[in-house]
Amino acid sequence: MASKADYETVRGNGGETHQRVSEKGPHDAAGHLTTNQGIRVSDNQNSLKSGARGPTLLEDFVLREKIFHFDHERIPERIVHARGSAAHGFFEVYESLADITKADLFQRPGEKTPLFTRFSTVAGGAGSVDTPRDVRGFAVKFYTQEGNWDLVGNNIPVFFIQDAIKFPDLVHSVKMEADRAYPQAGSAHDTFWDWASLMPETTHMLMWAMSDRAIPRSLRMMEGFGIHTFRLVNAAGKSTFVKFHWKPKLGMQSTLWDEALKLQAADNDYHRRDLHEAIAMGAFPEWELGIQAFDQKFADGLPYDVLDPTKLIPEEVLPVRLIGRMVLDRNPENFFAETEQVAFCPANIVPGVDFTNDPLLQGRLFSYLDTQKSRLGTANFHQIPINAPKCPFANFQRDGQMQMNVPKGRANYEPNSLGDAGEETGPRECPATGFTTFEGRAEHEEEGGKLRVRAELFADHYSQARMLFHSLTDNEKAHVASSFTFELSKVGLAHVPPRLVGNLLNVDETLARRVANGIGIQLPKKNAAAREPIDMKPSKALSIQANMKETIEGRSVGILYADGSDGKVIVRLVKAIKGKGGRPVLISTKVGGATLADGSKLKADGQLAGTPSQTVDAIAVVLSSEGCKALLKEGAAVQFVMDAFGHLKAIGHSPEAKPLLDKAGVEPDAGVTDLSDLFIAAAGKRFFDREPKVRTLA
Residues belonging to the active site:
81, 154
* 201 closest CA partner among 457, 541, 471, 561: 457
DSSP assignment string, 635-651? HHHHHHHHHHHHTTB-E
- In three-state form (DSSP H/G/I as H, E/B as E, the rest C), the secondary structure along 601-634 is EECCCEEHHHCCHHHCCEEEEECCHHHHHHHCCC
Secondary structure class of 423 (helix, strand, coil):
coil
Question: Which residues touch 625 (CB under 8 Å, ≥6 apart)?
Answer: 564, 656
206, 481 in Cβ contact below 8 A? no
Beta-bridged to residue 149, according to DSSP, are 142
Q: What are phi and psi of 485, to 5 degrees?
A: -60, -45
**Strand 583-588 relative to strand 556-561: parallel, antiparallel, unpaired?**
parallel
State the burial class of residue 227 (Cβ atoms within 10 Å of its Cβ: 0-12, 13-18, 19+): buried
Q: For 45-72, b where at least 16 C-beta lie within 10 A, e where not — what string?
A: eeeeeeeeeeeeeeeeebbeebeeeeee
Rg of the Cα atoms in the chain: 29
Secondary structure class of 499 (helix, strand, coil):
helix
Q: For 165-181, b where at least 16 C-beta lie within 10 A, e where not — what string?
A: ebbbbbbbbbbbbbeee
Rounded CA-CA distance 248/43 in Å is 52
Rounded CA-CA distance 673/679 in Å is 6
Rounded CA-CA distance 584/598 in Å is 21
- In three-state form (DSSP H/G/I as H, E/B as E, the rest C), the secondary structure along 317-386 is CCCCEEEEEEEEEECCCCCHHHHHCCCCCCCCCCCCEECCCCHHHHHHHHHHHHHHHHCCCCCCHHHCCC
The CA–CA distances, whole Å, from 625 to 157, 466, 553, 629, 653 equal 51, 53, 32, 6, 12
Query: Furthest-apart CA pair in the chain: how many Å?
Result: 91
Whole-angstrom distance between the N-terminal and C-terminal Cα of the chain? 56
The total of other beta-carbon atoms located within 10 Å of residue 471's CB is 22
355, 361 in Cβ contact below 8 A? yes
The CA–CA distances, whole Å, from 541 to 251, 460, 673 equal 12, 22, 31
* 149 closest CA partner among 119, 122, 116, 121: 116
Q: How crowded is the C-beta side of 64, counted as CA atoms within 13 Å?
A: 7
* 622 closest CA partner among 597, 590, 588, 654: 654
Secondary structure class of 10 (helix, strand, coil):
strand
* 162 closest CA partner among 191, 204, 123, 121: 204
Rounded CA-CA distance 606/591 in Å is 6
Q: For 623-657, b where at least 16 C-beta lie within 10 A, e where not — what string?
A: bbeebbebbeeeeebbbbbbbbbbbbbbbbbbebb
